[in-house]
Amino acid sequence: MKYLSNFICLLNNDGIPMIPCTDEDLTYLQKMIDGKKFPEAYLEFLKTMGRGTEHTFLRGHSCFMDELFIINEGGRELLEENDFSKNLTENDFVFWMSQGCMFCFFKFNEGDNPPVYFYSESSDQDDFYKIADSFTDFLVGMYTKDKNIFKKKD
């Protein structure tokens, strides 16, 4: 674990059980992204907790294996329903959604621990904006319940 090792240690120390994706899951996901490569930090997430956690961390959020296909399409549908001026591209991967009204994504071409971008139908956005400098920062912010996690980063 290059990117999430400290974070995984924190979860382990806090007694958070994590359910990893299977090799079959990872093969299936790889087919979903049609030849693109998942960022290494995201692969580490999938390999350690891609099927969920048995605790409050990320529970109730759509971000685990059983919903990844739904939320990728859901992000596109949400933008369309709200007549948002921007669209997701083939370079964008929606990895987190909450209550069908907000989502986060990363870009495949922004490195192994990419920045995280955000959209919410309840905000007055005219573009997507960055909320975390890395996928790891996003996870830590979610775990620590950072009240500024969904605020625009410079």
Which domain does 136 fall in, by range?
5-143
- What Cα–Cα distance (Å) separates residue 39 from each residue in 12, 46, 86? 23, 11, 23
Q: Which one-letter amino acid corresponds to residue 131?
A: I
Count: domains in the chain: 1
pLDDT in tens, 94-111: 999 998 899 999 999 999
Alpha-carbon span 38 to 56, nearest angstrom = 26
pLDDT in tens, 17-42: 999 999 999 999 999 898 899 999 99
Per-residue pLDDT band for 56 (boundaries 50, 70, 90) equals confident
In a domain, 94, yes or no: yes
In a domain, 32, yes or no: yes
pLDDT in tens, 62-81: 999 999 989 989 999 999 99
Distance linking the first and last C-alpha atoms of the chain? 28
Q: What is the DSSP letter of 62?
A: B
Radius of gyration of the chain (CA): 15
- Residue 119, domain CATH: 3.40.1580.10
Q: Is the pTM of this model over 0.85?
A: yes
As a residue count, the chain comes to 154
In a domain, 154, yes or no: no
